[in-house]
Structure 1
Amino acid sequence: MTKIWKETGFVGDDPWVIETEETKAGSNEKAIVGLDAFLAKVADSDETGLGVVIAPADDVTKLAPHLDRLALVAVAFPAFNDGRAFSHASLLRARLGFTGEVRAVGDVLIDQIPLMLRCGVESFAVSNATALKRLSEGRLPGIAVHYQPTAKPSTDAKSYSWRRVS
């Protein structure tokens, strides 16, 4: 069972569905399509409020001319040891200036969520039992010291280990 989580808690009625050959968005749902399908769709219409999923090997910069048409970008974490989606989220926020929702999908683990938040991810499709349990209990692990700034900077200047604070 997959649940959508944000820093404010679990989302009850999320309309987004990742479309596959087996799964299609219904009449009250919004489709999240792959990058190639998204690029074909924007070439043929002027539709806005779209969703796209970025696979690890995709070039996220191809979205740059179409960011104003996107409501959600899902970055895929197919395995816990594949961190390319961290870079995708950070590029979307810091370099491309995307202000819509960035969602982590795939292998979302509890200990990676704070790092995903710092990279600009704001919602999470969580199916891992341990992560679901800890999030429902409000037990999100923290990171006390940061080695570098990211798309979502820390509000505490003392949390950066390399900054001198007088």
Structure 2
Amino acid sequence: MNEEELILRVFELLLLMSNIGLLGLTVLLKKERRRVPIFIASGTALLVLAIHWKVEGLRVQLFFPYGLTILFLAGSIYGCFKKTAFRHIPRFILGLAYIVSAVMLALTACLMYAFPVFQLPEPSGEHKVGTQVFHFVDKGRDEIFDEKKRGKEN
């Protein structure tokens, strides 16, 4: 990966790292102490997500981190208002969710590496390269496909 590709992917990498950090905070912190740090981290991840969408655009490879960011933010907001939120989830389900999230984040990292963002160089030379759109109107022909069948097209 050259330097230009790395610069183009800064927010993409920050989004992935923020999701890994969110997952790490969720796993490592005790339930009583994780409410505020996860709320702050998920808000930061949402900010990175918004900047990524604006600067780099949407990418199919990153749909899981997009969804994970939004789920973490929604869960942390819900957890701030409901003090007894998420206390009755079985440990097996939580562990399974953590494992699936870690595997999906690893898969996302692999997809980011396999399908990098690239930019085509500007065409050089004397001939123009690209496409143009033309709209042709034949004023001498009767209009037969219009519902009103007004005659000639203006």
TM range (shorter): under 0.3
Tell which structure's C-alpha radius of gyration is larger: 2
**Relative contact order (C-alpha < 8 Å, sep 6+): which is higher?**
2
* TM-score for both structures, normalised by structure 2: 0.24
Question: Structure 1 or 2: larger strand share?
Answer: 1
